[in-house]
């Protein structure tokens, strides 16, 4: 974890000193090929993109996930694997098994640790987990997905903290924790859904004022599937080929099984489909607002 070395190394961990994008994950590449292709276009100020195959790496290598991750990596974009900590209730062995699969199958450059605990008493366990992950990844980029301001000591355990994740209605009135002012913006991430196009500039101003260096805004909102239910639970069943199962599901109702995630990403844990499954309708405008324009 580069933040444990020098201030200059901390800056290089996110790639720039200015505002950039952290994409918390799109739907599976098989059903969202346009989104994944868009992310590899040059000129997009991406700090990282999360790959979440099946609420984790899945039970077998997924060729579509491998291809998507490879294109981004070759384009110079950092790809993070999605690890669910289940608010500290998940056995460390399971977390590390998922991490090993991500590294072996998809060559990720770090991890987003979703549903990360926030309380002081949970810090030693999280620190132990991130120290092990840092060893496995040879200093890969680690993001703790709290979704709110945690105990300040968590900043010592990772490169970045997600200190806000939620709807625009909450974000526009949110308050930043005072202790964050002692640290540079590249240490903090804000993920906001339901942001209207007409409020995109306002949302960006809030992020800058609150000291977030990595952001993702979308006009998409949480939604139930066409049958009024959330997405299906958990991993793909044992003994099933990932691609085979995905193809079966995609012919029925793709929106019912779109990428599962935690409270940051929504999904199986909340009975809702993630607002981050697709890119925002104002993607080009969003990219141009905070960095170089989208290449033609």
CB 249 within 8 A of CB 259: no
- 258 pLDDT band (50/70/90 cuts)? very low
What DSSP designation does 223 have? B
**Distance separating alpha carbons of residues 96 and 1, to the nearest angstrom:** 17
**Distance separating alpha carbons of residues 96 and 126, to the nearest angstrom:** 12
What pLDDT is stored for residue 272 in this prediction? 54
> What are 13-48's pLDDT values in tens digits?
333 458 999 999 999 999 899 999 999 999 899 999
CB 127 within 8 A of CB 99: no
Check: pTM over 0.85? Answer yes or no: no
**Distance separating alpha carbons of residues 33 and 242, to the nearest angstrom:** 17
With a CB cutoff of 8 Å and minimum separation 6, the contacts of 251 are none
Q: What is the CA radius of gyration of the chain?
A: 18
Q: What is the mean pLDDT of the chain?
A: 82
> Does 163 have pLDDT greater than 80?
yes
> Does 154 have pLDDT greater than 50?
yes
Element (H, E) at 143: strand 141-145
CATH number assigned to the domain comprising residue 275: 3.20.20
**Distance separating alpha carbons of residues 262 and 136, to the nearest angstrom:** 23
Q: What is the phi-psi region of residue 26: left when phi exceeds 0, alpha when psi lies from -120 to 50, beta otherwise?
A: beta
Name the phi and psi angles at 231, rounded to 5.
-70, 160
Is 6 inside a domain boundary? Answer: no
Is 41 inside a domain boundary? Answer: yes
Best CA proximity match to 186, nearest among 19, 59, 9: 19
Question: Residue 155 sits in which domain range?
Answer: 21-290
What mean pLDDT do residues 165-185 have?
97
Domains in the chain, number: 1
- 1 pLDDT band (50/70/90 cuts)? low
What pLDDT is stored for residue 18 in this prediction? 82
> Does 136 have pLDDT greater than 90?
yes
**Distance separating alpha carbons of residues 283 and 208, to the nearest angstrom:** 19
- 4 pLDDT band (50/70/90 cuts)? very low
Is 54 inside a domain boundary? Answer: yes
Is 69 inside a domain boundary? Answer: yes
Is 16 inside a domain boundary? Answer: no
Is 296 inside a domain boundary? Answer: no
**Distance separating alpha carbons of residues 208 and 87, to the nearest angstrom:** 28
Is 277 inside a domain boundary? Answer: yes
Look up residue 61 and give its two tokens.
């290598």
> Does 123 have pLDDT greater than 80?
yes
Is 295 inside a domain boundary? Answer: no
Best CA proximity match to 263, nearest among 254, 252, 255, 274: 274
Name the phi and psi angles at 166, rounded to 5.
170, -165
With a CB cutoff of 8 Å and minimum separation 6, the contacts of 200 are 217, 282, 285, 286, 289
């Amino acid at each position: 974890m580069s933040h444990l070395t020098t201030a200059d190394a901390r800056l290089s961990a996110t790639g720039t000193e200015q505002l950039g994008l952290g994409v918390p994950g799109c739907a599976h590449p098989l059903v969202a090929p346009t989104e994944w292709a868009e992310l590899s276009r040059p000129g997009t100020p991406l700090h990282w993109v999360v790959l979440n195959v099946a609420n984790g790496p899945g039970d077998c290598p997924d060729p579509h996930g491998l291809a998507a991750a490879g294109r981004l990596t070759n384009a110079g974009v950092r790809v993070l694997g999605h690890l669910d900590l289940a608010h500290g209730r998940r056995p460390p062995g399971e977390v590390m098994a998922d991490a090993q699969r991500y590294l072996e199958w998809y060559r990720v450059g770090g991890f987003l640790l979703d549903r990360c605990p926030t309380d002081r008493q949970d810090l030693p366990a999280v620190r132990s987990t991130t120290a092990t992950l840092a060893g496995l990844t040879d200093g890969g980029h680690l993001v703790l997905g709290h979704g709110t301001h945690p105990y300040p000591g968590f900043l010592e355990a990772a490169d970045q903290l997600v200190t806000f994740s939620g709807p625009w209605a909450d974000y526009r009135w949110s308050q930043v924790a005072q202790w964050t002012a002692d640290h540079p913006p590249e240490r903090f991430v804000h993920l906001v859904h339901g942001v209207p196009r007409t409020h995109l500039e306002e949302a960006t101003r809030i992020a800058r004022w609150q000291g977030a260096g990595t952001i993702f805004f979308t006009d998409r909102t949480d939604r139930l599937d066409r049958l009024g239910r959330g997405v299906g639970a958990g991993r793909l069943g044992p003994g099933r080929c990932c691609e085979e199962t995905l193809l079966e599901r995609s012919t029925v109702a793709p929106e019912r099984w779109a990428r599962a995630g935690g409270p940051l990403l929504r999904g199986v844990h909340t009975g809702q489909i993630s607002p981050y499954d697709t890119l925002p309708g104002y993607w080009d405008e969003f990219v141009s607002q905070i960095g170089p324009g989208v290449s033609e």
